[in-house]
A and B are shown apart, each in its own frame.
Chain A
Amino acid sequence: MANKKLTIALFSGSVDKLTAAGVILGGAAAEDMDVEIFVLLQAAFAFKKENAMTNDRVAEITDKKDDFLASLKRLEAPHWTEAFRTAKEMTNVKIHICGFAGKVWNGYKLDDFIDLADDICGIGEYMTAAEEADINLFI
């Protein structure tokens, strides 16, 4: 039986949403799903080499940001980049950086982004992948 397909339009560059994406990726990895992630606008910021580990912005319940980040530490939750990496090791995950998004954050080459990124692509590729997916998420 062919693996189920998951596509994610990953827009958010905030650690809370990226952490949630990492948890979902873990679930997909456990089930051997084929995953394609399209890194759009703000997410491309978080994927820049100089930002990935230092970015600590959160999108929601921002007044509790310190509590949230402390809880992630207390629970020994992996950093989102680590969760993404684990999923890549365990199942077929391809991460595409949207070319336009990259340029917004002065990222023109694949090398400007963390090594989780597989390539830079256009939106057409996302449309094609999403059409064929069993599950499509916007995060």
Chain B
Amino acid sequence: MTTEELATLKADKTVDARGTSCPGPLLAAKKAIGEIDKGQVMEVLSADEGTRRDIPKWCNKKGFEYLGTVEESGYFKIFLRK
């Protein structure tokens, strides 16, 4: 997805993991993914640089669709579809 598309994308679930360091955001994503249905979109907010690389890899392994990352001031919004 393009940055413009991501900017207007409405997530079905938001996981705010900005207060945690690696592997906190990944674990928060893992916990939350069980709470949405297949096809729904989740955004993970993380201030951890490693997470923006981990989530795409994790999606790939778990069969989720990584949609892209938007860089905000001091954190990342990482989008994926279950």
Residues of A within 8 A of B (CB): 23, 26-27, 29-31, 75-77, 86, 90
Contacts and interface: CB of A to CB of B under 8 A. Distances in A.
Q: Is the interface of B mostly helix, strand, loop or mixed?
A: helix
A27 B23 CA distance: 6
Contacts of B30: 29-30, 90
A77 B22 CA distance: 9
A117 B24 CA distance: 23
Nearest to A86: B27
Contacts of A77: 21
Interface of B: 19-24, 26-27, 29-31, 54, 58, 61-62
A26 B23 contact: yes
Nearest to A4: B61
Max chain B C-beta neighbours (<10 A), residue from A29, A30, A31, A86: A30
Given A29-B30, A90-B31, 15 more contacts: A23-B23, A26-B22, A27-B26, A29-B23, A30-B27, A30-B54, A30-B58, A31-B58, A31-B61, A31-B62, A75-B21, A76-B19, A76-B21, A77-B21, A90-B27
23 contacts: A23-B22, A26-B22, A26-B24, A26-B26, A26-B27, A27-B23, A27-B26, A29-B23, A30-B23, A30-B26, A30-B27, A30-B29, A30-B54, A30-B58, A31-B58, A31-B61, A31-B62, A75-B21, A76-B21, A86-B27, A90-B27, A90-B30, A90-B31
